Amino acid sequence: MPISSELLNDWVEDPESYFLSDLNCNAEEYIGASAQSLYLALIESKVGRPLVVPLLLSMINDISAQNCAFHSEIERIGGEVTPYANENILLWDAIYLAIGVSANILTPSYQFEDWFKICLGPNLAKLMEVKSSKNFLPILKRRALWIIGCHANLITSSTNAHSLLVMSLTQNQSNLQNDLAVKLTAASSLISIFYEPTFDKLLLSADAAILIKSLYKIFAFCEELESRRMIMELISLVLGIYCGGELSNEAANAAVIPLLEIWNLSGGHNILRKEVLGVLNCIVAAVGSERLGLLDSIVGPMLCHSLDQKNKNDSMFLIEDALSLWLSILRLSCTYTSTLDNLFIFASTMGMENIR
């Protein structure tokens, strides 16, 4: 079912809310979700699968038609957005949606890597090369990035899909509002890839500093807690590549510097402060023992606030993460610092549930 003009208008007015509503679409609120449920029921049935799968496979193999749709989107870049996008673009957006939601059924019947190398990858790369105007909705660009996440278990170094996700997150930082739904989609797909045990995360190591800086810029542009938590989760995953003290000074600074401001501005959102402590835990592991002392001025006050029982009503959900961060610092510390000494004041006030 093609995306409606109403939803396109929603994207124009509030890209972040559009992304979240699409991510959490409910069949009771969104007719497209009902159509997806009906489609999945059909393709998963014994009667429907032999009819639907060959049809979708023939569409996947129609490279010329896909190239034509992508070319139409490239031609639209710089033009005015209207509720009525090119019908061919909307058609292929719907087809890609059907392919993505049924990827686990379709993938045994075709080679995703070949399709990506021949069609999706080159067309995505072309879209990345062209700077879009603030009035342009990159419909197929977003959907292609989403498709990558649907096939996260099949992403290898040879597909180079991860590089396109990183490129989408790091480019065009001056006009985030225009591309916010796309960037959040790319972040979601990259998270999916990170959680696949077969993916070699070291492939992303060269891009760590610029990627972390870009993710914080995206974070600053987001207003919804769910989006912000997703970005913080991705930052933690990127830092997790370097567990063992191998993170560069540039990347470490990029990861640490924004955290204090986020902490100070998140007083009413303890869940977000929980994410800050999680990122710090990853940074501790990534910088190693030799540079650990440089974090004292940031880590110390945050841990004191989280563990102080005077702040129990505000910090109840932070205690476990704070204790985990404290333990990580203790294990890596070469010397006993005043920051560590100050934390032991709170040990005697811990409840029995935290005694371990």
Domain parsing of the chain, residue ranges: 1-199, 233-356
Q: Whole-angstrom Cα distance, residue 269 to residue 345?
A: 26
The winner for highest mean pLDDT among 104-113, 139-148, 156-165, 333-342 is 139-148
Does the pTM exceed 0.85? yes
- Of the candidate ranges 19-28, 94-103, 146-155, the one whose mean pLDDT is the lowest: 19-28
pLDDT in tens, 301-333: 888 888 887 777 777 788 889 888 888 888 887
pLDDT digits (tens, 9 = 90+) for 217-261: 999 999 999 999 999 999 999 998 887 778 888 888 999 999 999
| Region at 79 (left for phi over 0; alpha for psi -120 to 50; beta for the rest) | beta
CA distance linking residue 350 with residue 290, whole number of Å: 30
Query: Average pLDDT over the chain, rounded to whole?
Result: 84
Q: Which residue has the higher pLDDT, 175 or 265?
A: 265
Q: What are phi and psi of 229, to 5 degrees?
A: -65, -35
pLDDT for 355 beyond 50: no
Per residue in 282-299, pLDDT (tens digit) is 999 988 887 877 788 888
Percent of the chain with pLDDT over 90: 44
**DSSP label at residue 316:** G
pLDDT in tens, 141-173: 999 999 999 999 988 878 889 999 999 999 876
Q: Tens of pLDDT along 70-96?
A: 998 888 775 554 544 688 999 999 999
Identify the band that residue 27 occupies on the pLDDT scale cut at 50, 70 and 90. very low
pLDDT reading at 28 higher than 60: no
Burial of 273-309, coded b for 16+ CB within 10 Å and e otherwise, reads bbbbbbbbbbbbbbbbeebbeebeebbbebbbbbbee
pLDDT at 305: 82
